[in-house]
A = this chain, B = another copy of it.
Amino acid sequence: MPLDATTNLAPLPLVNYDQRDGVYDVVIVGFGAAGTCAAIEAARAGASVLVVERTGGAGGAAALAEGILYLGGGTATQIAAGVLDTKEAMRAYLMVACGPEVDEAKIDAYVEGSVAHHDWLVDLGLEFEPSIDLETQMAPKGTEGLVWSGGENAWPFSEIAAPAPRGHLARTKRSTGWLLMQTLAEAAVAAGCEVLYDTKVERLLTDGDRVVGLEASRYGQPYIVQAKKAVVLCAGGFIYNDEMVAAHAPELLQGTWKVGTESDDGRGIQMGMALGAQTKSMHAGEVSLPIIPPRKLVEGILVNGFGQRFINEDTYMGRVGQAALYDQAATCFLIVDEACYEPNWMGIEAAWVCETVEELEQEMGLIPGALAGTVALYNRHAALGEDPMFHKAKNYVRPLVPPLGAFDLRPGVAPYAPFTLGGLATTVNGQVLHIDGTPIPGLYGAGRTTSGVCSFGYASGLSIGDSTFFGRLAGKAAAAEESR
């Protein structure tokens, strides 16, 4: 449990230091999706802003991501693409998809501000092509600017709210994530922010209860910065800290593709906790299990280690990964027939192919009769075009005809791509809450250092969406603090 003894997380009084390497109104820790947006808004509000970034460049985890932004309620891109969306439908979807126990105030703010946030991003120079990709829940092969990134058009969400594609991708020859972060970082610099790269924050500095600066280390030397208004923690999540993951979300240790950078080691969360901050949903993690494309693979059935179905195959791939890892003992197979079989987008092929389901379950090492019973039950209803158990959309439902194949989708064979969703508890404006329920004076946070709109459930684009949106709110609020 003990961390590296050199981590120096415990806060100290600023008055202990004679040295001052800089004095700014607002000091932002991390120059990723949340940090850039906090920086832009703080600077535009007139604050002097320093961004302290641990690595050698801007972008954080978002620059490596596909860069989908989950936006809706009738964005200009949605309207131009002929998509009918409403705030009510978006809110109804998020309330269920992001649960259980969502932060309703954050969801309300996010839904209410989504259209304006879209326009703010467009004003920065991002272009979203008003067209919809139907094949994937990830970045399309083409230039389409909208994807169905959260399974909104599949059960159960299709019955909860009018579905709409809300995953927005900016037009670029490189990844949207790269373009997005390039754009945001340039906008922050253009707004007047200073950025200090290769600088690691060691601890927060205080004056009584108030956070008034930080001690960083830079090229082996201490670097002391005073923040006259506030410090904003935008330092990412903790998927790269195995010890923290084991303590809070051990299921995620089975994930093979860690979605983040090495800086996502929880240090931002720890710095808040060292000041008595409360946390929320530290157990939660998004775990994408990207099976499709090709989309016709969802005509097959997903089964667990007992040969039982456990989810509708056409749902969001993040829900499949979460269900497999958290609830199904990390065991998952996809059963297909010839009509829907094709190696998937990553080149993963069926691990077993057999003439009969009985042979297949034997080859797979399943209990005799288990998979056969599951296929028989599925086919019985599929013959009527129905999936009463998991409500897969009718267009993907038809009886499976032997010979059958099975993809092995267990961790280590298939990629599970996890990142953490839990973090510091904050107000809508990003104030970090002390365990006593009051804001810690001078301390803000946004992005995956905090618990955002997703308490557990997830849709692609919600982490960058939430990070950019609440990063802006935190930057504005920090700049509006009284100068001390």
Which residues does chain B contribute within 8 Å of A339, judged by CB atoms? none
A403 at the B interface (CB under 8 A)? no
Q: If the complex has contacts A280-B1, A425-B247, A437-B3, are A389 and B367 also in contact, measured as CB distance less than 8 A?
A: yes
Q: Is A2 in the interface zone, CB < 8 Å from B?
A: yes
Residues 363 to 409 of chain A near chain B (Cβ within 8 Å): 367-370, 373-374, 376-377, 380-381, 388-389
A380–B369 CB distance below 8 A = yes
Q: Is A246 an interface residue (CB 8 A)?
A: yes
Q: Among A125-133, A268-276, A467-475, which stretch is in contact with chain B?
A: A268-276
Cα A381 to Cα B2 in complex, Å, equals 49
Asked whether B436 lies within 8 Å of A280 as measured between CB atoms, the reply is no
CA distance A369 to B370 in the complex (A): 14
Residues of B near A10 (CB, < 8 A) are 209, 276, 434, 436
* Residue with the highest number of chain B CB atoms closer than 10 Å, among A276, A283, A369: A276
Copies of this chain, count: 2
Indicate whether A16 reaches chain B with its CB closer than 8 angstroms.
no
- Judge if A79 is at the interface, Cβ distance under 8 Å: no
Closest to A99 in B: B250
Q: Check A22 for interface membership: any CB of B closer than 8 A.
A: no
A155 on the interface (CB 8 Å rule)? no
For window 2-46 of A, CB contacts with B under 8 Å fall at 2-5, 7-11
Residue among B270, B327, B436 making CB contact with A326, cutoff 8 Å: B327
Nearest to A242 among chain B residues (CB) is B101
The residue from B9, B283, B327 contacting A248, defined by CB atoms under 8 A apart = B283
When the two chains form their complex, are residues A433 and B389 in contact, meaning their CB atoms are under 8 A apart? Answer: no
A255 CB to closest chain B CB (Å) equals 14
Q: In the bound complex, what is the Cα–Cα distance between A101 and B249 (angstroms)?
A: 10
- Pair B276/A306 contact, Cβ less than 8 Å: no
Contact partner of A276 (CB less than 8 A), chosen from B273, B328, B370, B377, is B273
A356 on the B face (CB < 8 A): no
- Taking a contact as CB atoms under 8 Å apart, the answer to whether B276 and A438 are in contact is no
How many angstroms between the C-alpha atoms of A170 and B9 in the bound complex? 46
Report A270-308 CB contacts with B as 1/0, cut-off 8 Å: 100111111111110000000000000000000000101
For A448, the chain B residues whose CB sits under 8 A away are none
Q: Does residue A166 face the partner (Cβ distance < 8 Å to B)?
A: no
Q: Does A309 contact B (CB under 8 A)?
A: yes
Chain B residue at minimum C-beta to C-beta distance from A372: B377
A100 at the interface (CB under 8 A from B): yes
**Docked-complex contact B9 and A436, CB < 8 angstroms:** yes
Contacts of A308 in B (CB 8 A): 306, 308
* A351 interface residue per 8 A CB criterion: no
Per the 8 Å Cβ criterion, residues 236-284 of A in contact with B are 246-251, 253, 270, 273-283
Residues on B with beta carbons closer than 8 Å to the beta carbon of A368: 380-381, 388
Which of B2, B306, B438, B455 has a CB less than 8 Å from the CB of A433? Answer: B2
A351 to chain B, nearest CB (A): 21
Distance A326 CA – B169 CA, assembled complex (angstroms) = 35
Taking A1-B437, A2-B433, A10-B276 as known contacts, 17 extra A-B pairs with beta carbons closer than 8 A to each other, sorted by chain A number, are: A1-B278, A1-B280, A1-B425, A1-B433, A3-B436, A5-B437, A7-B437, A101-B253, A247-B280, A247-B425, A248-B279, A273-B435, A282-B282, A306-B309, A327-B328, A368-B381, A369-B377
A interface, CB within 8 angstroms of B: 1-5, 7-11, 100-101, 103, 209, 246-251, 253, 270, 273-283, 306, 308-309, 326-328, 367-370, 373-374, 376-377, 380-381, 388-389, 425, 427, 433-438, 455-456
Q: Can you give 15 contacting A-B residue pairs, CB < 8 Å? A: A3-B437, A5-B437, A7-B436, A10-B209, A10-B276, A247-B281, A248-B280, A250-B456, A270-B435, A274-B434, A306-B308, A367-B388, A369-B376, A373-B374, A373-B376
